[in-house]
């Protein structure tokens, strides 16, 4: 991803839409993700070069989110899988931010797989996230329920989506979590 390439694409999209890139919230969000991608890739390179494994894990997790938001599901899936391999030794002990890394990585992985139509794998990863989250915090439980429901919805199975979405809603209410 070359930031100049995306800057030009954003400007072209803004011109087609008749908006300038500063007035369009959507274009600014995309630009923010592109800037985050650039910074994240540099941070990952530095962490890798100095052998800082915790920082590598965190940067891969954060980059998985950014790549997902930019629609590069393959890259997001790859990064999420690498994070899962790295935290397999201690799935309940690694956390960057409010959610367990073992849960959030499965959330991004499950969502990306669902976007690509790989429903069985998406549902399996989301169910794993739920099992891990059940032993932890409301935030992790909410996201695990949400991604499992989302995977079922992408598959077209509304009835199977309702129970995990309701569990996620209860976790949000119980922990005062806003998704």
pLDDT at 21 over 60: no
Q: ∠28-149-162 over CA atoms, to 5°? A: 130
The model's pLDDT over 91-121, given as tens digits with 9 standing for 90+, comes to 667 777 777 888 999 999 999 999 999 999 9
In 10 A of CB 109, how many CB atoms?
29
Q: Quote the CA–CA distance of 156 and 173 in Å, as a whole number.
A: 26
Lookup: tokens for 5: 């390439």
Predicted pLDDT at 77: 96
Q: Quote the CA–CA distance of 41 and 56 in Å, as a whole number.
A: 10
Predicted pLDDT at 53: 87
What residues does 95 pair with on adjacent strands? 100
Handedness of CA 55, 58, 62, 65 (dihedral sign): positive
Cα Rg of the chain, angstroms: 17
Q: Quote the CA–CA distance of 38 and 9 in Å, as a whole number.
A: 16
Overall average pLDDT of the 13-42 stretch: 71
Predicted pLDDT at 156: 96
Q: Quote the CA–CA distance of 136 and 155 in Å, as a whole number.
A: 28
Lookup: tokens for 8: 């030009």
Predicted pLDDT at 179: 63
């Amino acid at each position: 991803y070359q930031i100049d390439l995306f800057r030009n694409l954003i400007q072209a999209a803004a011109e087609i839409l008749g908006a300038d890139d500063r007035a369009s919230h959507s274009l600014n969000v995309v630009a923010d993700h592109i800037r985050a991608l650039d910074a994240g890739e540099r941070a990952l390179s530095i962490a890798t070069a100095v052998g800082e494994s915790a920082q590598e894990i965190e940067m891969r997790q954060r980059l998985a989110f950014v790549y997902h938001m930019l629609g590069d599901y393959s890259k997001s899936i790859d990064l999420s899988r690498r994070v899962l391999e790295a935290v397999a030794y201690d799935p309940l002990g690694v956390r960057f931010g409010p959610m367990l890394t073992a849960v959030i990585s499965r959330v991004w992985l499950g969502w990306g797989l669902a976007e690509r139509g790989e429903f069985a794998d998406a549902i399996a990863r989301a169910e794993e996230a739920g099992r891990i989250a059940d032993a932890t915090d409301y935030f992790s439980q909410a996201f695990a329920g949400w991604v499992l429901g989302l995977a079922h919805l992408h598959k077209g199975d509304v009835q199977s989506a309702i129970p995990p979405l309701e569990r996620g809603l209860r976790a949000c209410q119980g922990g005062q979590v806003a998704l």
